[in-house]
Chains A and B, each alone.
Chain A
Amino acid sequence: MTDAAAPVPVPVPVSVPVSVDDALADAWRAHWSRLIGLLIGQFARPDLAEDAVSDAFESAAKHWPDDGIPTNPGAWLLTAARRRVLDRLRSESVLRRKEPLMVVDDEMRALAAAAVDPGAHVADEQLRLVFMCCHPALAPDDRVALTLRFVVGLTTAEIARLLLVQETAMAARLTRAKKRLASSGIPFATPPAARLDERLDVVATVVYLAFTSGYHPGDGDVPLRVDLGDEAIRLLRVLDSLLPDRVVVRALLALLLLQHSRRDTRLDPTGALVLLPDQDRSRWHRDEIAEAVGILRSLDEATGPAVTGSDSGDVEVDRSAHRTTALAQEYHLQALIAAEHATAGTADATRWDVIAAFYAELEALTESPVVRLARAVAVAEASGPEAGLSLLDGLEDALPRHHRVPAVRAELLTRAGHPAAAAAAYRRALDLVTNPTERAHLESRLAALPDA
């Protein structure tokens, strides 16, 4: 309610001058997904919402340098974006085109239509937006692309580069996916409680894929404006605040914090991959490691210890308040393993016996031969190369094109003092390896064998 007689507030001078570029970047970070969510909530047209918010930011880049940065950039952008949607709807009705609408409940539409500031009330819209982009009736690749576009706000060119497809192909895929969102009956809604866990698993998978795609950006001349690791973590924090105490969200947050904490040490100055034991631990982000360890501690308190060191005794834990899916347990175990690495003072101080026990649990859960391979490495570090070798049996059949199976076998055979057998395994690995850095590494290991 405004009072016409109230004195006009004196504008408070901004102590630090803010550049338009910074203001735009801040607004983009703070408001992109909120604006999209509000517009879909109001107009039930995902396709128009996305274009309109893009246009609103373009318009801001044009007008703010001359007109000044508005006192409430979010409200300015919302007004501009709404105008764009209304323009488009008007021209569609002139053409008598009847576009199908996304399923949005009436209460939501009224609330979204009444909003004037995307910073004020948007929790529902943001959640709905995430669940919409990660709907199980969308193809898995489309879920990632839509999340990067609608929630994170990347451009089509950036997404194409991250997901290693041509920009035209990505544009076509996004167009088709948006059409599907608008007209296949997928709701703009938070799933009911009974479905929340399985739907959150889909969301978590998408966030994890988005995070990892940021670590393997393909070649191309589209520079990425954002750190996808930061964005994935930010999105998990939002989810964690809106849906508290969900194990899959907390475990994945811990896992991503731990992986991201090593970001400054993963590549050497020439851009070559630096393996974990050789990374400069003093440059790992300790605050993030500490946060992740804190999350893992709270998860252990909530769900009981993941690994007790023996199979004896059933751990009686009331998990009813913290129902965990297999995926949540998987992320939890991966995070516990990552935490062991992150908290070891030196590579030599790594508690490989603990890591091997976590891998055993992870293997029992996933039955994955890739996990078995990682477990074999951990067991070899903890209990010697022979113990590791015994776990490799049969893995060549399960992972026939995987050069790391013969590579690990070769390494363990070398350590166990079987150079001839090691040489044969290195040659098998060299037949399969494609990455030039790894090839060079394998060749140097083979050349260094005694009497090979």
Chain B
Amino acid sequence: MRFVVLERGASADDGGLADRAARCGVTVLAREVVRPSETATTVLRRLALDRPSDEHDGPLAGVLLLDAPDLDAVLDVLPPTDTGAFEVRPVAG
């Protein structure tokens, strides 16, 4: 079974995740740390907003991991929707 886990707060190191995963029979498919919240762009009803998303934007629905030349390409590729929102952040590093 595949799971998505969202990390919140400051979590630069993985706290020995790999070791525990091996012991527990879990495979970490990917772990990405994102840049701080001031780099977040929230796309709401086709508008790009200068903020992270919050609970008013709707409950968590999914995760996309994209490789794109820049933010504009990401904004272009997101599905146009009148409900829900997308928070976009570059991966740190």
Residue ranges of A at the interface with B (Cβ–Cβ < 8 Å): 98, 100, 103, 136-139, 142, 176, 179-180, 183-187, 189, 191, 195
Chain A residues with CB below 8 A from B47, complex form: 136
What are 17 A-B interface contacts by the 8 Å CB criterion? Answer: A137-B48, A179-B38, A180-B38, A180-B50, A183-B39, A183-B90, A184-B38, A184-B40, A184-B89, A185-B70, A185-B88, A186-B71, A187-B70, A187-B71, A187-B72, A189-B70, A195-B72
User: Which residues 55-93 in B have Cβ within 8 Å of A in the complex?
Assistant: 68-72, 74-75, 88-90, 92-93
Contact A184 B39 (CB under 8 A): yes
Q: Which residue of B lies closest to A184 (CB)?
A: B39
Q: State whether A184 and B72 are in contact (beta carbons under 8 Å apart), knowing that A139-B50, A142-B50 are contacts in the complex.
A: no
Contact B70 A176 (CB under 8 A): no
User: Is the contact region of chain A dominated by helix, strand, or loop, or is it mixed?
Assistant: loop
- Closest-CB distance, A281 to chain B (whole angstroms): 44
Measured in the bound complex, the distance between the Cα atoms of B49 and A138 in whole Å is 7
Measured in the bound complex, the distance between the Cα atoms of B33 and A98 in whole Å is 15
Contact A185 B90 (CB under 8 A): yes
Chain A residues with CB below 8 A from B53, complex form: none
Contact B39 A179 (CB under 8 A): yes
Chain A residues with CB below 8 A from B49, complex form: 137
Chain A residues with CB below 8 A from B93, complex form: 98
- Closest-CB distance, A63 to chain B (whole angstroms): 37
Measured in the bound complex, the distance between the Cα atoms of B91 and A352 in whole Å is 58
B24-65 vs A: 1/0 string, CB under 8 Å? 000000000001001111000001111000000000000000
The total of interchain contacts (Cβ-Cβ below 8 angstroms) comes to 55
Contact A103 B38 (CB under 8 A): no
Measured in the bound complex, the distance between the Cα atoms of B90 and A184 in whole Å is 6
Besides the known contacts A184-B71, A187-B70, 4 further A-B residue pairs in the complex with CB atoms under 8 A apart: A136-B47, A179-B39, A184-B89, A186-B72
Measured in the bound complex, the distance between the Cα atoms of B36 and A176 in whole Å is 11
Q: Which residue of B lies closest to A141 (CB)?
A: B50
Chain B residues with CB below 8 A from A183, complex form: 35, 39, 90
Q: Which of B41, B50, B69, B92 contacts A103 (CB 8 A)?
A: B69
Contact A138 B50 (CB under 8 A): yes
Measured in the bound complex, the distance between the Cα atoms of B71 and A176 in whole Å is 18
Chain B residues with CB below 8 A from A189, complex form: 70, 72
Q: State whether A186 and B38 are in contact (beta carbons under 8 Å apart), knowing that A136-B48, A138-B50, A142-B50 are contacts in the complex.
A: no
Chain A residues with CB below 8 A from B89, complex form: 184
Measured in the bound complex, the distance between the Cα atoms of B75 and A138 in whole Å is 13
Chain B residues with CB below 8 A from A137, complex form: 41, 48-50, 71, 75
